[in-house]
């Protein structure tokens, strides 16, 4: 059995999740990551992590489905020889629109993936971490969850909820040697921000004190900090990686 740590990352096929997988592989962890439907992108993540020397398992799983989350966790635990050291809840979606026109299904879809998916994963993985009396959980929130955003009420609800869950679980698990923190990216160049309208994009970029969008690696470094030993005495925190947007 490998003595490398095992990290489980949701939504690792593209964007920030892929960068997190590669960064954690680079600092010596084995990787289990999930994806929703983009199998070729998942293969590319697998290849990039293997290049860093990691053992890798990719699993198709919809995090909005609690049974599929449980199956993903079981596969990760098997791959890790019974332990899961790090959980990164990264999978997320947007369904933007002004509140008065927002459909129930657009609200539900975002909450089901971003908020309930994070809950299902934390509930399942925390059992393993409690048994091991160690662990790191890192949740992907957003600057939108910190300060709100017009046209993203559903997304803001989910990402503020992630912060509330992060702080609550941090309190539950602190005495067991497990930390729970959140990273709140601002505007990062990925497929998610690529589908914004030109107007929405310009308005967001204009709000960044440091000027310009962030890179996926900027977020991955913050996740790696919370996933590693250096952050052992930090829990329940929200770290904005946003070029100053949330100030």
Which residues have a catalytic role annotated?
Answer: 155
- Nearest CA to 169 out of 88, 240, 91, 235 is that of 235
In this complex, which beta carbon is closest to ligand NAP, that of residue 17 or of residue 135? 17
Nearest-CA neighbor of 171 among 126, 222, 108?
126
x/- binding map, residues 126-155, to ligand NAP, per CB under 6 A? --------------x-x-------------
User: Are 69 and 63 spatial neighbours (Cβ–Cβ below 8 Å)?
Assistant: yes
Using the minimum distance from each CB to ligand NAP, give the nearer residue, 43 or 174: 43
**Candidate residues 8, 32, 54, 188; the one interacting with ligand NAP per rule CB under 6 A:** 188
Instruction: Examine residue 118 and tell whether it contacts ligand NAP (CB under 6 A).
Output: no
Residue 90 as a binder of ligand NAP (CB under 6 A): the answer is yes
- The stretch among 36-44, 126-134, 221-229, 231-239 that binds ligand NAP (CB under 6 A) is 36-44
Given 22, 48, 59, 93, the residue binding ligand NAP (CB under 6 A): 93
- Tell me whether residue 16 or residue 170 sits nearer to ligand NAP (CB atom): 16
Query: Of residues 198-237, which lie at the interface with ligand NAP (CB under 6 A)?
Result: none
The 3-state DSSP class for residue 30 equals strand
Q: Quick one: how far is CA 233 from the chain centroid?
A: 21
Q: Does 62 bind ligand NAP (CB under 6 A)?
A: yes
Nearest to 93, CA basis, from 168, 37, 50, 131: 37
Piece of 24-32, 56-64, 98-106, 163-171 that binds ligand NAP (CB under 6 A): 56-64
Largest CA distance in the chain: 55
Contact call for residue 113 and ligand NAP (CB under 6 A)? yes
Our CB check for ligand NAP shows the closer of 14 and 136 to be 14
Q: Write the DSSP symbol of residue 4.
A: S
Residue 180 DSSP SS3:
strand
Which tokens is 4 given?
């490398």
Dist. CA 139–CA 118, nearest whole Å: 7
């Amino acid at each position: 059995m490998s003595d490398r740590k095992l990290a489980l990352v949701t939504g690792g096929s593209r964007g920030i999740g892929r960068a997190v997988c590669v960064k954690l592989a680079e600092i010596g962890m084995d990787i289990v990551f999930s994806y929703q439907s983009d199998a070729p992108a998942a293969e590319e993540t697998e290849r990039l992590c293997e290049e860093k020397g990691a053992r890798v398992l990719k699993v198709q799983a919809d995090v909005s489905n609690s049974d599929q989350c449980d199956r993903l966790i079981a596969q990760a635990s098997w791959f890790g020889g019974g332990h899961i050291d790090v959980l990164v809840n990264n999978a997320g979606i947007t369904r933007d629109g002004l509140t008065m026109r927002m459909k129930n299904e657009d609200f539900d879809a975002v909450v089901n993936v971003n908020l309930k998916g994070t809950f299902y994963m934390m509930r399942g993985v925390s059992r393993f971490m409690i048994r091991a009396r160690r662990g790191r959980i890192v949740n992907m929130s957003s600057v939108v969850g910190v300060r709100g955003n017009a046209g993203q009420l559903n997304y803001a609800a989910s990402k503020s909820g992630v912060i509330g869950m992060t702080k609550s679980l941090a309190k539950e698990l602190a005495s067991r040697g497990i930390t729970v923190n959140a990273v709140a990216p601002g505007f990062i160049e990925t497929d998610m921000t690529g589908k914004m309208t030109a107007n929405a994009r310009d308005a967001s970029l204009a709000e960044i004190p440091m000027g310009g969008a962030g890179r996926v690696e900027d977020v991955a470094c913050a996740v790696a900090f919370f996933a590693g030993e250096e952050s052992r005495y930090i829990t329940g925190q929200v770290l904005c990686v946003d070029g100053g947007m949330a100030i």
